[in-house]
Structure 1
Amino acid sequence: MRKSVLGGLFLVLAGPAFAGEPSAPTQKKPGPGLAVAPVSEAERYARRCQDRTSNRAVWPQGTMLWGTRRVWGDRHEPDERRSVLVSVDLAPLKPVSPKVPSLRLEGGRLVASPEASRSLVGTVLQGTSSDGKPVEVAVCGAEPSPADSELVWYRIEAWNSRAQRWENPCVGTSQIPDPRALAVSGVWDASGAHQGVEGKFTLACENGVITKCINWGYKPWASHDGHSLAELHQACTRMARADYCGNGQSHTRQDTPIDMFDTLGVLAPTMERSAVWDPERASFEATWAADGASCMARTRDRRALETVLRECPGRFQTGQAVELGNGDRCTVQRAGVSPGAALLRNRAY
C-alpha cells in the first residue's frame, strides 16, 4: 500500500490563486462592458496555440471540480458550480487532418481514430460551458507523463468569444501557475455527479479535484485487485471538496491538512509524523460514497454540523454514535446507509 498524497492535499483547499489569462503581446484586453469586433473563422483558427505572454490576475477561488475558470473576464463569479468548460465532444470540429474523423479515449489518453499515431496538436474540439453555450477548444500540446505511461497532459486553449482571443481555461495557482489538463471519460454536472455521455469527455485541469484524485491513485478507468476504481474516484472528488451533501457545494478553508484512506487499500492511513502531517493532531471527519458523505463527525471548515443538515434536509440523521474502529466515530449518519460500507474515509485537523 502506498501513501504519497499529503503534500498535494493542501492544493484542493480554498485560497487566492492566479488564473492564467494568456494574451498575444499585440492584443489589448478590452475594458469592462466593451464589445470586441468578431474575427473571421480563418483568422480565429490561425490564432490558436500561439506563444503568449502571461497576464495573470488574483482570483478568489474555492475548491474546484473541473479546475477551470467560472466565467470569462475579470468579474468574480461566486458560484463554484459554474465553468467555462464542462464537456468536450470526441468528434473534432477542426482536425489537423481530414483523415482523423473522430477521437477515442484509452485510459487517460486521447487517440486519433483510425490513425492512432497521428498528432492531435492543433486540433480544435467542440466544448460546452456549464450554461450550455458552445466553446471551441484547441489542443496546443500533448506531453506524455514521465511518471505514468497511461497519462498524457494536454495544453489547451479555449476561444473567449467576449474578448475574441484564445485563453487557457484552466485556473493557475502559486503551486501550478500554468496548468495543463487530462482527458477523462464522461462529464460532471453542476452537482458534481459523473455521467457517462456517449461521444463526450472532460478536459480536467491540474488544479481541479477530478485530476487530483487521479494523481492520488484513483484512476476511474483502472482497477485494483480486480475492483474498479471508478466509484472510488468519484467518492474522492466529493471528499476533496468536502461536498457532504453531494450537491456540488464545498465546505473547506485554506490550508486545512487532510489524510485519506480507502477500503481497497490503494491508500492507507498515515501513521508517522512528518513536516506536512501530524496524526496526533488529526480527528475523524467523514466517510464517503460516490454521491457524498455517508457519515460525519465534524465539518472541515469547523462550521456547526447543523448547517450541513439544513443544507440537505432529510439526507442525514442524528442518533447513537457509531464506532468505525481506530478511534473513528460517526455522530451523523446518512439515512439508510451503513457507515461501514463507505469507500473512503478521511481525517483532518
Structure 2
Amino acid sequence: MIPLTRSTRFLLASLSLLLSALAFAEPSTPKQSHPAVAQAADSERYSRRCQSRAPSRGGHAQGTMLWGTRQTWGARAGSDEQRSVLVSVDVTPRSDVGSQVAALTLKDGRLVASPDASLSLTGTVLQGTSSDGKPMEIAICGAEPSPEDPSMVWYRIEAWNPVAQDWENPCVATRRVPDPRALAVSGVWDESGARHDAANRFTLACETGVISKCITWGYKPWASHKGQSLSALHQACTRMARADYCGNGRTHTRADTLIDVSDQLGLLTPTTEASATWNPALASFEADWTTDGATCLAHTRDGRALETILQECPERLRATTEVERAHGSRCAARREGVTAETALLRNQSYGEPRSSGSSPRSQ
C-alpha cells in the first residue's frame, strides 16, 4: 500500500477536479460537413433500411394509443398520448433512393405501385410528418395480406430515428405484439383525435393503435355495410376504444381493459354468452358514441370519478339521471340535444377496471 503524502493528495485532488470538469462540460458544436461527405452519409443511411432486426419486447400499455406509434424518439416514453413521431405520410415516394416505384395510390386500404402495380414496395421511402410538424422518413419493408381477411394488407415499416441514427420500427411493441405492423388508412388524425381528409397524405396506423384495431374489429372505413359507409362508425370506434368521452383526444382507459361493442347497423352485436374472459352478467352499459365522443355516459371505464369528466368538458357533457327510451339505459352524463337514436356505437364494460388478455374487445 502506498502512503498518501502531501504531494499525492494534491495530485489526486487535481485529477478529481479535472474529471469533474470533463463530465459537466458542454459538448462541442459539431463542424458542418462538406456536401460531398453528407451525400455519402445519406447513401450509406438508405442502404441500411429494411435490414432484419430483433423485435422490441417492451411492455407498453394498450388501449390508449391512437396511431400506435412512439410518442418521441427519446430514451424515455412519455405519457402524452396526443403526441406521435408519425401522424401522416405523403403518398409520393422519394425518387433518389434506388426504388423502382415512381408513384403510389391508396385504394381500399392498399398501397398500389405505379407505373406497374406488380412492383414490390419493399425499400420504398416516403416522407412523413410528426405531431409537432417535423419531417421524418418512412421505409416500407414488406407487405403481408391478412390471413383472416385478404382484402387487408399489413405493412412492415421502419422510420429513421435521428437520435439513434438508425432505422427502427416506429410502432409501439407490446408483449402480445412484439413486432407490430401497420395498415394504410386514408385521411389523417390530429391531436384531438379528429379525422380529416387530406389530399396526397394518408396514415400508417400501427396494429397496437386504435385506428388499426377498429379496422380489425370490422369497421373498415373504406367499406360499407347494408349500403352504408363504415367511415363514421370507424371514427366513432376510435373514440370508444380509447374512452375519449369528451372528444378531445384524451384517453380514459387502462391496459388490457375489455369492452363489449355493438353498433346501429348490427355489424357487431352485444355478447350474451359468458366465456373464460367475459361475463355479461358482471358488465353494464358504459356509453353511447358518435364520431366526436360520448353522447351518454353511465360510468367511466378506468374507475375515475364522473366529476373529473364533467370538469374536463363541461360544455359537452352534463350530469343527468335521464333514462334512454331506446335502450332503457340510465345516463349519468349526457350531451344536450343528442338522442340515443343518433349514436353510432355503444359499449359495455365492467364497473371497475379489470385486466384480461383476450376478447370480446381488448383495446
Q: Aligning the two structures, in what range does the TM-score lie when normalised by the shorter sequence?
A: 0.7 to 0.9
In structure 1, the residue matched to 2:301 is 300
In structure 1, the residue matched to 2:241 is 240
In structure 2, the residue matched to 1:68 is 69
In structure 2, the residue matched to 1:119 is 120
Which moved further from structure 2: 205-214 or 112-121?
Answer: 112-121
The Cα of 1:34 is off from its aligned counterpart by 8.4
In structure 1, the residue matched to 2:83 is 82
In 2, Cα distance between equivalents of 1:205 and 1:34: 36
Specify whether residues 327 and 35 from structure 1 end up closer, same or farther in structure 2 by C-alpha distance, changes over 3 A only: farther
- Number of equivalenced pairs: 317
Other structure's SS at 1:40 match: helix
The Cα of 1:62 is off from its aligned counterpart by 6.2
Give per-residue Cα distances to partners, 1:269-293, cap 9 Å, x unaligned: 0011111211100011000000000
In structure 1, the residue matched to 2:319 is 318
Q: Give the conservation status (yes or no) of the 8 Å contact 1:181–1:204.
A: yes
In structure 1, the residue matched to 2:171 is 170
- Mark the runs of 5 or more structure 2 residues left unpaired by the alignment: 1-25, 31-37, 351-363
AA matched with 1:220: P
Specify whether residues 35 and 157 from structure 1 end up closer, same or farther in structure 2 by C-alpha distance, changes over 3 A only: farther
Query: Is 1:149 matched up with 2:150?
Result: yes
Q: Give the conservation status (yes or no) of the 8 Å contact 1:95–1:124.
A: no
Q: Give the conservation status (yes or no) of the 8 Å contact 2:61–2:174.
A: no
Other structure's SS at 1:156 match: strand
User: Following superposition of structure 1 onto structure 2, how do residues 215-234 of structure 1 map, counting pairs within 5 Å?
Assistant: 215-234=216-235
Which moved further from structure 2: 153-162 or 250-259?
Answer: 250-259
The Cα of 1:99 is off from its aligned counterpart by 5.9
Other structure's SS at 1:299 match: coil
In 1, Cα distance between equivalents of 2:334 and 2:68: 30
Specify whether residues 134 and 297 from structure 1 end up closer, same or farther in structure 2 by C-alpha distance, changes over 3 A only: same
Name the structure where helix makes up a greater proportion of residues: 2
User: Following superposition of structure 1 onto structure 2, how do residues 29-44 of structure 1 map, counting pairs within 5 Å?
Assistant: 40-44=41-45
The TM-score normalised by the length of structure 2 is 0.82
User: Following superposition of structure 1 onto structure 2, how do residues 39-50 of structure 1 map, counting pairs within 5 Å?
Assistant: 40-50=41-51
The Cα of 1:331 is off from its aligned counterpart by 2.6
Give per-residue Cα distances to partners, 1:111-161, cap 9 Å, x unaligned: 012321111111000000111000000001111112212111110000011
In 2, Cα distance between equivalents of 1:170 and 1:316: 33
In structure 2, the residue matched to 1:103 is 104
Q: Give the conservation status (yes or no) of the 8 Å contact 1:96–1:120.
A: no
In structure 2, the residue matched to 1:21 is none
Q: Give the conservation status (yes or no) of the 8 Å contact 1:62–1:80.
A: no
User: Following superposition of structure 1 onto structure 2, how do residues 156-305 of structure 1 map, counting pairs within 5 Å?
Assistant: 156-305=157-306
The TM-score normalised by the length of structure 1 is 0.86
Which moved further from structure 2: 338-347 or 317-326?
Answer: 317-326
The Cα of 1:298 is off from its aligned counterpart by 0.7
Q: Give the conservation status (yes or no) of the 8 Å contact 2:245–2:293.
A: yes
Q: Give the conservation status (yes or no) of the 8 Å contact 2:287–2:294.
A: yes
- Mark the runs of 5 or more structure 1 residues left unpaired by the alignment: 1-32
Which moved further from structure 2: 45-54 or 156-165?
Answer: 45-54
In 1, Cα distance between equivalents of 2:58 and 2:144: 26
Other structure's SS at 1:69 match: coil
Larger Rg: 2
Specify whether residues 323 and 36 from structure 1 end up closer, same or farther in structure 2 by C-alpha distance, changes over 3 A only: farther
AA matched with 2:148: A
Q: Give the conservation status (yes or no) of the 8 Å contact 2:66–2:209.
A: yes
The Cα of 1:264 is off from its aligned counterpart by 0.5
Name the structure where strand makes up a greater proportion of residues: 1
AA matched with 2:302: D
In 2, Cα distance between equivalents of 1:72 and 1:235: 29
What is the RMSD computed on CA atoms of the aligned residues?
A: 2.2
Which structure's relative contact order is higher, taking Cα pairs within 8 Å and 6+ residues apart?
Answer: 1
Specify whether residues 36 and 270 from structure 1 end up closer, same or farther in structure 2 by C-alpha distance, changes over 3 A only: farther
